Amino acid sequence: MDFHNTHKLMKTKNTLINYVEFKALDLELTKIFYNQCFGWVFTDYGPTYTAFTDSGLEGGFEKTDEDIINGVLIVLYHENLLFIKDKIVEAGGTIVKNIFSFPGGSRFHFSDPSGNELAVWSDK
């Protein structure tokens, strides 16, 4: 899932919203809907993930078979995942998915003190 290539052309700034990730029950129907309605362009990364561009903010859809309760994941960027992870915990956040690798980088998920889940990724 190397969907962050375009950010290598420009300097990505730490802690800015960099990507938004949605859940989808049917990726094909989702792609058709967003393309027909809004002109979004899709790139598939295997059978369970598709990334989109031409939307104002890059993002993707991850296939799920579970009920969608919170279908959006806001993804921040930081070049040093260990540093920002410690800072989040010190400020009262909770790590809900520890650092894991994916094609193109690594990321982790956390919840803020209100229970909102976000993620932080890095290509470093």
Beta carbons of 69 and 115 less than 8 angstroms apart = no
The 3-state DSSP class for residue 84 equals helix
Residues of the chain with CATH 3.10.180.10: 20-69, 77-124
The DSSP H or E segment spanning 94 is: strand 94-102
Q: Fold for 20-69, please state it.
A: 2,3-Dihydroxybiphenyl 1,2-Dioxygenase; domain 1 (3.10.180)
Beta carbons of 20 and 57 less than 8 angstroms apart = yes
Asked if the model's pLDDT at residue 106 lies above 80, the reply is yes
Per-residue pLDDT of 36-91, as tens digits, reads 988 999 999 999 999 999 998 999 999 999 888 878 999 999 999 999 999 999 99
Beta carbons of 93 and 110 less than 8 angstroms apart = yes
Output the pTM of the full model: 0.74
User: What percentage of the chain carries pLDDT values higher than 90?
Assistant: 67
Beta strands in 14-84 (DSSP E): 17-24, 41-44, 49-53, 59-63, 72-77
Domain 77-124: CATH superfamily is: 2,3-Dihydroxybiphenyl 1,2-Dioxygenase, domain 1 (3.10.180.10)
- Which residues are CB-neighbours of 97 under 8 A, at least 6 positions away? 108, 109, 119
Q: What is the pLDDT of residue 8?
A: 43
Q: What is the pLDDT of residue 4?
A: 45
